Structure 1
């Protein structure tokens, strides 16, 4: 072999090695989660189910900042009440699955996935639910420009923003707040006719509708970003962020959006609002993989996969207050054995998801509780303003709450047949994990009508609910949650806001007897 041939072979081997490294770099960046594929077992991948690849190799935009390290995504926990969120166009209108599960059966492919696969450009689609009258919209290669979203920064301590109106914390979107790349000639992605069809304006200043309205189309050369986010990301806008009940509806919407879009792992979150920090963020962080505020980004950021989560007001947990949702909670096993459009296990599934997110076992029932006595959790209601900076009247739901609690404490200490532990549920002073622990360990949950009772969504099967309802607060919020979870529910209706302690003890005594005491 002469010298020229040796040089040629060396050059060939060097080029082969360089090409191999390039291919490895491309596929590893385009498919960062391929080694997590086993986590997707039993969780439907919507894109694959519709004939598209799981990961679309987008042509990445020019980045003005160094690439951000990929943040690991949390796997979905194994929970007893989980049932597949399979896409089915035959889900019955106003059925339990249409309300609580995957009733998003009408898909509008605005920028088809197949075209994005060929060109490396953006894709975008919306899934509309006729039952909930809203959509879950999602897309790939979407740019968000925080500079074109008018709102406060968000994430501050409450004491640092005293005096700031909450109106300044809700987003206003300029055209171009969101951007997609496409060869289409029109400027805007969708028009008002389409918006009216798939995102009806169910509330004033509907932020999801406005964010989709703001999406403009640009060409490849104009699609620049400071940061590229590989991980699937939920874009969430909250209204009543400091109220537990309304936050539970937001949690459910985010969970539902994650399942409907078939995400193999728990998504990351971006709050597209300017609200200050609250204790409730502990649960947001436990449920999902990470959390950032939109204004934390210093410039345009591109998402490989972004999902616009519907408002909590558009979930069945809220809609049930004003419209009849004829559903009863049963176990997932019962539902599999005897399918019924008027039965659901979805709310139990969601409650188990919350408990699992904090690391609690999700297969505990009353056998373990009774061994150490029955915990009766009295959810205390402290006078507060649902919006911490609003002017307004502080409302008392139970004027003699302390007297009722003291009477129950005396009753519990004198209960001889079995041990009864009365738990003083000052939940506002407890970390969220300890609040969930108290709910999980309770055999009976009692309290005046108030947002704290929304925690019953995480109660275990066979927990009994006793709600004390004043004359001014005859609302069905917690009766419905109990019904949708299949929990035993009792109510004591008051003529005013004063409860007779003896009447409460009599009702509670009957409940404890029914538990075997």
Structure 2
């Protein structure tokens, strides 16, 4: 057994022990952030009723994979640190309803840096007939022309209800306006569906808490907005992943889409990341949850906030941060990228070290015309007007390159499954592409992958420069005076990158 294999085995054993130890510590010493009066009230309850938010062991949930970049999701993040933005900054908790005698409960964990909350509740009931929206999950061809308003949820009072137990409660509304403004602020979002959902939750007497169907395992309630766009969907995936970790779920939760969007290719990744996926309107009657988590909108993640706010964070290896914590560094996006790769069964403990025997893969991410949603024409705006010319020039150059073998990969993502797209990203030493949503896949690239973005003067936006920085990836940009690129300039930049890789 060589030294590298021995080191790999030791690393895997260390990560397994770390994950197991943290989960054990969490569930035996789960921290509290309640006020003194709330602590007194909780002390009168059965400990397991409050500290264990789900009543039954999950039977059909996928386990969490062992991730090399995983760090414990502690509750000691400093305000506006990178851990607060990208990890667990959800440290200020407010209980809207405490459990009494096995009845329901509800609370929110607020993140001051993101001005957002992860909220969760037990013995929560959903009444689909009180949610106005399209059914969702239809084939795209069947709903062409359907408006966005038809697909977004409108909640009636009591669309969600929580079991108040047999003891009479002094109110029917779960939370008031003050609670919403402090824990679920509207911010710049015109239609804050999560806020509206929570505002319409009503408390009902235990005798009236009847259910047509029970879901025993922890379940995420997710409302998607731009569900067909990869960048926005990645922010939803990340929000759902963070919500799962913040609430310390022992297994991957199930997901229910509280929206009426049609079926989209990106659902493949939702199904891979989580235990199952359903639409709220697919239920024929009331459905009750032993533990439901309301995932924040993707607009409230650091990945989106960082486009308009300065988030001074840099990617760093998890082992480095474990030994030397740094408020300006994060391994959370790397952890999430590993989660995406693990969801599709790709190896995690690999890197782009040295010269691969099969050569370096240079992935050119292409932009293609395709129907994305019912209101889409199928035509994409050109970000690189001579993309084919640039690709053909690179292909000719790569085939004659003398330094080492270069495999130029034609990244026609619109015609590839999500698993194949992630596989192509995983296998790439260098990723090239014009500014476009497809480049968001760099969140799951290997640590030493190099990014080269070709940027039209009409689309100078910082998305992928920031993601590269937050991931700790080497990033290069070619800024165009218009949308036409000089193939020679692209080749020159790529040649320099290949030399830096020892090629």
Deviation at 1:162, TM superposition (A): 0.7
Residue from 158, 180, 183 that aligns with 1:195: 180
Match of 1:291 in 2: 277
1:169 aligns with 2:169: no
Match of 1:49 in 2: 30
Q: Is the 8 A contact 1:45 1:263 kept in 2?
A: no
How far, CA to CA, are the matches of 1:46 and 1:317 in structure 2? 30
Match of 1:74 in 2: 62
Match of 1:236 in 2: 222
How far, CA to CA, are the matches of 2:288 and 2:26 in structure 1? 22
Q: Is the 8 A contact 1:40 1:265 kept in 2?
A: no
Match of 2:171 in 1: 186
Q: Is the 8 A contact 2:369 2:379 kept in 1?
A: no
Unaligned stretches of 5+ in structure 2?
1-17, 33-46
How far, CA to CA, are the matches of 1:442 and 1:368 in structure 2? 14
Q: Which aligned pairs between 1:356-505 and structure 2 lie closer than 5 A?
A: 356-367=342-353, 370-384=356-370, 387-390=373-376, 394-505=380-491
Deviation by residue 1:118-150 (Cα, 9 ceiling, x = unmatched): x11001100011100011000100000000000
Q: Secondary structure in 1 aligned to 2:114?
A: coil
1:86 aligns with 2:67: no
Residue from 111, 120, 130 that aligns with 2:102: 120
How far, CA to CA, are the matches of 2:296 and 2:423 in structure 1? 29
Match of 2:11 in 1: none
1:219 aligns with 2:219: no
How far, CA to CA, are the matches of 1:176 and 1:298 in structure 2? 17
Deviation by residue 1:375-402 (Cα, 9 ceiling, x = unmatched): 0000001145765514698411000000
Q: Secondary structure in 1 aligned to 2:441?
A: helix
Q: Is the 8 A contact 1:46 1:87 kept in 2?
A: no
Deviation at 1:50, TM superposition (A): 3.3
Question: Which contiguous aligned blocks of 4+ residues in structure 1 show a shift greater than 6 angstroms?
Answer: none
Alignment length (residue pairs): 465
Deviation by residue 1:76-134 (Cα, 9 ceiling, x = unmatched): 0001100000122xx2221100000000111001112xx44xx1100110001110001
How far, CA to CA, are the matches of 2:480 and 2:219 in structure 1? 46
Residue from 307, 316, 334 that aligns with 1:348: 334
Q: Secondary structure in 2 aligned to 1:348?
A: helix
Q: Is the 8 A contact 2:95 2:108 kept in 1?
A: yes
Deviation by residue 1:205-244 (Cα, 9 ceiling, x = unmatched): 2110011001001101111110011000000000000000
How far, CA to CA, are the matches of 1:162 and 1:422 in structure 2? 36
Match of 1:248 in 2: 234
Q: Secondary structure in 2 aligned to 1:465?
A: strand
How far, CA to CA, are the matches of 2:21 and 2:293 in structure 1? 21
Deviation by residue 1:400-428 (Cα, 9 ceiling, x = unmatched): 00000000000000012210000000011
Q: Is the 8 A contact 2:456 2:479 kept in 1?
A: yes
Deviation by residue 1:357-391 (Cα, 9 ceiling, x = unmatched): 11111111013872211000000011457655146
Deviation by residue 1:474-498 (Cα, 9 ceiling, x = unmatched): 1000000100010000000000000
Deviation at 1:444, TM superposition (A): 0.1
Deviation by residue 1:224-266 (Cα, 9 ceiling, x = unmatched): 1100110000000000000001000000000000000000100
Match of 2:118 in 1: 136
Match of 2:135 in 1: 153
Q: Secondary structure in 1 aligned to 2:356?
A: helix
Greater CA drift, 193-202 or 265-274: 193-202
Q: Secondary structure in 2 aligned to 1:74?
A: coil
TM-score where L is the length of structure 2: 0.89
Unaligned stretches of 5+ in structure 1?
1-37, 61-68
Deviation at 1:47, TM superposition (A): 8.6
Deviation at 1:55, TM superposition (A): 3.6
Greater CA drift, 310-319 or 180-189: 180-189
Q: Is the 8 A contact 2:143 2:374 kept in 1?
A: no
Residue from 94, 109, 112 that aligns with 2:95: 109
Match of 1:300 in 2: 286
Q: Secondary structure in 2 aligned to 1:80?
A: coil
Greater CA drift, 192-201 or 499-508: 192-201
Rg larger for: 1
How far, CA to CA, are the matches of 2:464 and 2:53 in structure 1? 43
TM-score where L is the length of structure 1: 0.87
Call closer, same or farther: CA 1:513–1:176 in 2, change over 3 Å.
Answer: same
Deviation at 1:45, TM superposition (A): 4.2
Call closer, same or farther: CA 1:359–1:277 in 2, change over 3 Å.
Answer: same
How far, CA to CA, are the matches of 1:145 and 1:471 in structure 2? 49
Q: Is the 8 A contact 1:327 1:484 kept in 2?
A: yes
Deviation at 1:193, TM superposition (A): 1.5
Greater CA drift, 39-48 or 293-302: 39-48
How far, CA to CA, are the matches of 1:368 and 1:297 in structure 2? 53
Q: Secondary structure in 2 aligned to 1:472?
A: coil
Q: Is the 8 A contact 1:134 1:200 kept in 2?
A: yes
Q: Secondary structure in 2 aligned to 1:423?
A: strand
Q: Is the 8 A contact 1:471 1:495 kept in 2?
A: yes
Q: Secondary structure in 1 aligned to 2:255?
A: strand
